[in-house]
Amino acid sequence: MSIAVPKIGSHVRVTTMYPNTYAYRGENDNYVSYTREGVVVQSIFRDPFMFAVKTGDPDHPVSEFNAKSQHVVKIEYIVGGSKQVATDKKAWKVKSGDGKSFYIVERIEGKYTCTCKGFEFRKDCKHIGAVSKR
Ligand SMILES: [Zn+2]
């Protein structure tokens, strides 16, 4: 799997959405949305999914974004484009002890999950152990 990250020099409009944390929010403003537009520059973070947008706005001269974040809901390209950055997502089918069924072990960004009951309760299981040793 890979994620589209805006290339440096591109002109983009980024829309983000965050839960509205104000105590007296109404029924229709459970989320607050922000839009930032500008030229993509090098992020200060050493993360291939991070990109920075130079807006020219005195209040927010540079905004940092994570292309993988659920809060980044839309990236529009006015000029330029994106590059694909691969994510560390892998999945394995592991047979159950009796060999009659199987479980799915997934590794996403270094974290393992399994579909078995043991993992549900202990957050670890022998299926993950078998896969991570490979
Ligand atoms: Zn398991």
How far, in Å, from the CA of 127 to the mean position of ligand 1?
A: 4
Q: Is the pLDDT of residue 5 over 90?
A: yes
Both structure tokens of 88? 């560390």
pLDDT the model gives residue 26:
67
| pLDDT tens per residue, range 49-94 | 999 999 988 988 999 999 999 899 999 999 999 999 888 888 999 9
- Residue 5, Cβ density class (10 Å: 0-12 exposed, 13-18 middle, ≥19 buried): buried
6-42 pLDDT, tens digit each: 999 999 999 999 888 766 666 667 788 889 999 999 9
On the question of pLDDT at 115 being above 80, the answer is yes
Q: How many angstroms is it from 11 CA to the middle of ligand 1?
A: 45
List, in order, residues 6 or more apart from 93 with CB less than 8 Å away.
102, 103, 104
Span from the CA of 129 to the centroid of ligand 1 (angstroms): 9
Q: Which two tokens stand for residue 74?
A: 């839309």
Tell me, in angstroms, the distance from the centre of ligand 1 to residue 71's CA.
Answer: 31
Give kind and range of the element (H or E) at residue 120: helix 117-122
Q: Band the pLDDT of 119: cuts 50, 70, 90.
A: very high
Average pLDDT of the residues in 123-129 = 93
Let me know: does 36 contact 6? Beta carbons within 8 Å: no
For residue 123, how far is its CA from the centre of ligand 1 (angstroms)? 9
Q: How far apart are CA 127 and CA 12, in angstroms?
A: 43
Q: Residue 134 pLDDT > 80, yes or no?
A: no
